């Protein structure tokens, strides 16, 4: 416990600390930094809650993107505790849990927010440029709203690596390759449609020769690598 400086019936609460005061019936009140009167017969300070900025890190395992595809996300949360924003109905319970369990509370609720929010995104959307920044900003609003009733003032949430299973990665790569092939065929079709009938006849006659030259070049590459 932080050292309490007493002046008669007054106590001095150090900077960046909030004192948790208990009376005969249990939790009584929070005391901010500074000098405060404390009834020596009915009130006592049991513990302190730190209000310095803190960082908690986590790995959300088992989250699922749209379609039920499993992913894992590394994250980091920057926050501080402000007990005075806690509603009256929750103060007693949180006065007992916040001094030692604040990181656990933040981690549990942040993981839950990520799992619920990530369901709105497809895997393809998560792979797009700038997707991570957009997801961070959206999650930040959700996490702020979720943690504020527990006395948390969230400054920022930062996402790290988004990991998918090797099977999902292989399927994405195959889909991308098919997309590239389809785009190539579309471009070829557009070019061919611009040819005249006479040019198409010439191209048809050259096709076997071009195929043979391609075959010869492939054989040359094969033997040069052996």
Name the token pair of 15. Answer: 């900077």
Residue 152 CB partners (closer than 8 Å, separation 6+): 79, 80, 81, 82, 102, 105, 106
Mean pLDDT of 143-171: 85
Whole-angstrom distance, CA of residue 181 vs CA of residue 199: 25
Mean pLDDT of 91-99: 96
Across the strands, what pairs with 87? none
Determine the straight-line distance between the first and last CA of the chain, rounded to whole angstroms.
74
Domain boundaries, the chain: 5-49, 54-165, 169-225
Mean pLDDT of 201-207: 61
Band the pLDDT of 223: cuts 50, 70, 90: very low
Q: Report whether pLDDT(221) > 50.
A: no
Q: Estimate to the nearest angstrom the gap between the alpha carbon of 150 and the chain centroid.
A: 20
Whole-angstrom distance, CA of residue 85 vs CA of residue 166: 45
Name the token pair of 49. Answer: 């809650």
Average pLDDT in the chain: 81
The structure's pTM equals: 0.70
Residue 127 CB partners (closer than 8 Å, separation 6+): 172
Indicate the CATH number of 54-165 among 3.10.450.50, 3.90.930.12, 3.30.479.30, 3.30.1360.20: 3.30.479.30
The region of weakest confidence among 48-62, 66-80, 186-200 is 186-200
Q: What is the pLDDT of residues 21-61, one digit of tens each?
A: 999 989 999 999 999 998 888 999 999 999 999 999 999 98
């Amino acid at each position: 416990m932080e050292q309490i400086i007493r002046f008669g019936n007054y106590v001095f609460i150090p900077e960046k600390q909030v004192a948790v005061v208990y009376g005969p019936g249990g939790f009584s009140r929070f005391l901010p930094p500074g000098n405060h009167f404390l009834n020596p017969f009915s009130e006592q300070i049991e513990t302190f809650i730190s209000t310095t900025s803190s960082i908690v890190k986590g790995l959300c395992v088992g989250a699922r993107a749209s379609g039920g595809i499993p992913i894992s996300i590394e994250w980091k949360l920057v926050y501080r505790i402000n007990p005075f924003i806690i509603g009256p109905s929750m103060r007693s319970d949180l006065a007992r849990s916040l001094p030692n369990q604040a990181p656990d509370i933040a981690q549990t609720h942040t993981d839950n927010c990520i799992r619920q929010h990530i369901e709105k995104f497809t895997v393809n959307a998560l792979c797009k440029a700038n997707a991570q920044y957009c997801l961070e900003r959206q999650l930040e609003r959700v996490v702020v709203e979720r943690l504020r009733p527990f006395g948390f003032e969230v400054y920022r949430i930062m996402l790290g690596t988004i990991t998918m299973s090797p099977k999902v990665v292989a399927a994405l790569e195959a889909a991308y390759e098919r997309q590239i092939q389809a785009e190539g065929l579309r471009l070829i079709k557009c070019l061919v449609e611009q040819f005249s009938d006479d040019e198409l006849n010439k191209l048809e006659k050259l096709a076997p020769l071009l195929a043979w030259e391609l075959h010869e070049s492939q054989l040359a590459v094969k033997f040069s690598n052996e």
